[in-house]
Amino acid sequence: MLRIFSWLVLTLTCAVSAAQAQQYPDHSVRVFVGYAAGSGPDIQARTVAHQLSISLGQSFVVENRTGANGTIAARTVAQAKPDGYTLLFSSSSITPTPYIYKNLGYDILTDLKPISTIGILDGIFMLVDAKPPIKTVPEFIVYAKKNLVLYGSPGIGNELHLVTELFSQQAGIKMQHVPYKGASEVMTGLLSGSVQMMFVTPPSVMGLIKDGRVRPLAYTGSKPFAPFPNVPLMKDFVPNFTHGSWGMFFAPGKTPNSIVEKLNVAVRAALREPAVANIMQRDGYIPDDRNAAETAAFFRQAVKETEAAVKAAGIQPN
């Protein structure tokens, strides 16, 4: 009797879930981004959200909820009603947060459910202001060994802080970290001379590079960045040093799988639209076509790997 009852409950649950997915979405969807307007993640989120609005027939409205390395936006979504109408878009900077913050207010692996990536970014830029005479990574390393260098990142423990500390260790230099609220503020600091170096994803800085206002000393990818093929690879100066990134949509942890899978299919379809694909490829993203289950496994592995990187960089939780 108990088995029959359990089977009936399971059948009813599946039927309700399927009905929810069939009707979803029937009103507008909020997409929270933990980074400033105009940043790489913001550009990507808005690009895909616009296409989702077209394909699913409801508005996907992007809202910037900045601060604390994106954890404010993540917490907002983690604590939201799990019905698919409140989503998160984040870069891979989300993965160090469990090892940086003692009191996140949510569990990154259970209170957020991965939906789909928007692609894999092969590398990021090491940038300096164009005015100083330093033009190569070896010149920068020599300078940093003799002088105090300040570098900026969007807060303590974010991915760009992490990669800079790993670079410092492998290059045999010591720099001083200056945390900012967001990448745009770091860029302002770089242009004003408040900091001398930063690592950054390509989308938000390509215009500045073209205008000659900043100088990319290296790209951390496995191969040259197509729009700027003359920028050397970091691994040519610091052996085996590569670092990539990605962007990903999330839902609250208890969102029905049927809705997550519907969104996964919709995001993957959006990324195949020429207008969207051109923007993503321009920004250096390699297409990634994982289903929802594969995306979740990819995310769990990324979080696990980041724990070792945080320890290696010597960044202490706060």
What DSSP string runs through the chain? -HHHHHHHHHHHHHHHHHHHHHH--SS-EEEEESS-TTSHHHHHHHHHHHHHHHHHSS-EEEEE---GGGHHHHHHHHTS-SSSSEEEEEEGGGTTHHHH-S--SS-TTTSEEEEEEEEEE---EEEEESSSS--SHHHHHHHHHHS--EEEESSTTSHHHHHHHHHHHHHT---EEEE-SSHHHHHHHHHHTS-SBEEE-GGGTHHHHHTTSEEEEEE-SSS--TTSTTSPBGGGTSTT----EEEEEEEETTS-HHHHHHHHHHHHHHHHSHHHHHHHHHTTEEP----HHHHHHHHHHHHHHHHHHHHHHTPPP-
Predicted local distance difference test score (pLDDT) of residue 257: 98
* 20 found inside a domain: no
For residues 102 and 165, membership in a common domain is answered with: no
For residues 132 and 214, membership in a common domain is answered with: yes
Q: What is the pLDDT of residues 65-114, one digit of tens each?
A: 988 888 999 999 999 999 999 999 999 999 999 998 888 999 999 999 99
For residues 211 and 297, membership in a common domain is answered with: no
For residues 188 and 282, membership in a common domain is answered with: no
Domain that holds residue 202: 125-236
Of 236, 270, 290, which one is at a domain's C-terminal end?
A: 236
Of 236, 262, 283, which one is at a domain's C-terminal end?
A: 236
pLDDT band at residue 12 using 50, 70 and 90 as cut-offs: low
For residues 89 and 133, membership in a common domain is answered with: no
- Of 268, 270, 284, the closest CA to residue 227 belongs to 284
pLDDT at 314 over 80: yes
For residues 129 and 209, membership in a common domain is answered with: yes
Can you give the CATH number for the domain in which 230 is found? Answer: 3.40.190.10
* 274 found inside a domain: yes
* 12 found inside a domain: no
* 130 found inside a domain: yes
Can you give the CATH number for the domain in which 250 is found? Answer: 3.40.190.150
For residues 117 and 131, membership in a common domain is answered with: no
For residues 110 and 33, membership in a common domain is answered with: yes
Of 236, 264, 294, which one is at a domain's C-terminal end?
A: 236
The reported pTM is 0.86
* 22 found inside a domain: no
Number of domains composing the chain: 2
For residues 134 and 148, membership in a common domain is answered with: yes
* 318 found inside a domain: no
For residues 103 and 168, membership in a common domain is answered with: no
For residues 230 and 129, membership in a common domain is answered with: yes
Between residues 181 and 200, which one has the greater pLDDT?
Answer: 200
Q: What is the pLDDT of residues 103-139, one digit of tens each?
A: 899 999 999 999 999 999 999 999 999 998 999 999 9
For residues 114 and 136, membership in a common domain is answered with: no
